[in-house]
Structure 1
C-alpha cells in the first residue's frame, strides 16, 4: 500500500511539474547550445563551491535546469526527505520541454533516449534558505544516450525545497517546490 501511494505521489508530482502548475522561477544563467553528449565545446555552468568541484579527468557534457518538488514524509514527528520529483529541460530550451525525469535513488532518466544514471552524494555545500548544493558520483548508468558513462553530477543554484520546520504527525507527506541546475560530467577522452 505504501509503495502504491508513493508511486501515485511521484507520478502526480511529476505530472504537475511537467504541466507547470507547481513552480515557476528563473534560475541560473547556464546555457548549452549543443546536445548534452556533444563532443564539441562544453556548455557553461554556474560557479560551484570548491568543495563541490568535479575531479580532474572529467568533462562537462550537460547542463539542465530542473523544476520540481522535494517530497518529505513524517518520521517520528519530524520531516524526513522521501524523494525528489523533478523534470529537467535543456537550459537554452525556452519551451522548457522535459528531457529527463529525476526521482528517488537518486536517478535521472532521459525522456528522449531512455538512458539513466544513478548516483550517491559525495559532498554537500549548505545554502541559507534553500536545499544544499551537492556533488554526486555515479553508481550505475544504463543505455547509450545522454546519461551513458556519466561519472559525476552537480546540483547547483538551488532555490527552495526546504523541509517544513513545523511538527508533523502520523504518515503526513508534503511536497515543497524547488529548482536547481544539474550538471553532468563524463570521463575525458
Structure 2
C-alpha cells in the first residue's frame, strides 16, 4: 500500500511540474534564467574534490513535497524537471525525484546520490554537495561522481504546525552541476 501511495505521489508531483513547465513554455515566460557556466559559483563548503571535472549544468524547476510527521513538516520528496542551461527550445533533459535520483529523458542514464555537505541560505532550501552512490546506463549521467545543487530559490517547508497526514508541495528552482572523474 505504501509503495502504491509513493508512486502516486511521485507521479502526481512530476505531472504538476511538467504541466507548469509546459504552461511557462507556451506563455513565453522563462522558468529560470540561463546564465553562462562561469556564473555558476559554489560556496567553499560545497567544493567538488580535485580529480573531478564539470560535465553538465542544468536549470531545474519543481517542487519540494513535505508531509506532516509528529506535528511538523518533513521532506518527503523532490520532483523537478531539468533543462540544459543554454537550450532555447526548453526541452526537458532529465527528471529529479526521491532517492535522490536524476534520470535522463534523452538517454535513460541515471544517478543516485546522497548529500555530504550543505550551505544554508536564508529564505530558501540549502545548497548541497552530493556524492554519487550509483549510476546506470552509458549516457549523460554515466560515471557521475558529484552533484551540486546551487542557486536555490524557494522550496522551504512551512513553519506552521500541521496535523494528520497533510502534505504540501512548495515550488523551487535550482541549478544542478554534475561532475565525473578526470580520466
> Structures share a fold, TM > 0.5?
yes
Q: Which residue number in structure 1 is paired with residue 11 of structure 2?
A: 11
Q: Which residue number in structure 1 is paired with residue 155 of structure 2?
A: 161
Q: Secondary structure at the match of 1:15?
A: helix
Q: Which residue number in structure 2 is paired with residue 122 of structure 1?
A: 116
Deviations 1:127-183, CA, capped at 9 Å, x for gaps = 000000000000000100000000000000000000001111111110000000000
Q: Deviation at 1:28?
A: 5.3
Q: Report the CA distance shift for 1:49/1:28 in structure 2 as closer, same or farther (over 3 A).
A: farther
Structure 2 stretches lacking a partner, 5+ long: none
Q: Please tell me whether residue 112 in structure 1 is matched to residue 112 in structure 2.
A: no
Q: Which residue number in structure 1 is paired with residue 90 of structure 2?
A: 96
Q: Secondary structure at the match of 1:102?
A: strand
- Whether the 8 Å contact between 2:31 and 2:61 is mirrored in structure 1 is no
- Whether the 8 Å contact between 1:28 and 1:181 is mirrored in structure 2 is no
Aligned residue pairs total 178
Q: Secondary structure at the match of 2:48?
A: coil
Q: Please tell me whether residue 72 in structure 1 is matched to residue 66 in structure 2.
A: yes
Q: Report the CA distance shift for 1:56/1:45 in structure 2 as closer, same or farther (over 3 A).
A: farther
Q: Which residue number in structure 2 is paired with residue 37 of structure 1?
A: none
Structure whose residues are more often helix by fraction: 2
TM-score by length of structure 1 reads 0.88
| Alignment equivalent of 2:132, drawn from 105, 130, 138 | 138
Q: Secondary structure at the match of 2:14?
A: helix
Q: Which residue number in structure 2 is paired with residue 82 of structure 1?
A: 76
Q: Secondary structure at the match of 2:5?
A: helix
Alpha-carbon separation, structure 2, partners of 1:86 and 1:51: 24
Alpha-carbon separation, structure 2, partners of 1:164 and 1:19: 23
Q: Secondary structure at the match of 2:171?
A: strand
Alpha-carbon separation, structure 2, partners of 1:170 and 1:72: 13
Q: Deviation at 1:13?
A: 1.5
- Whether the 8 Å contact between 1:30 and 1:63 is mirrored in structure 2 is no
Q: Report the CA distance shift for 1:109/1:158 in structure 2 as closer, same or farther (over 3 A).
A: same
Q: Which residue number in structure 1 is paired with residue 169 of structure 2?
A: 175
TM-score by length of structure 2 reads 0.91
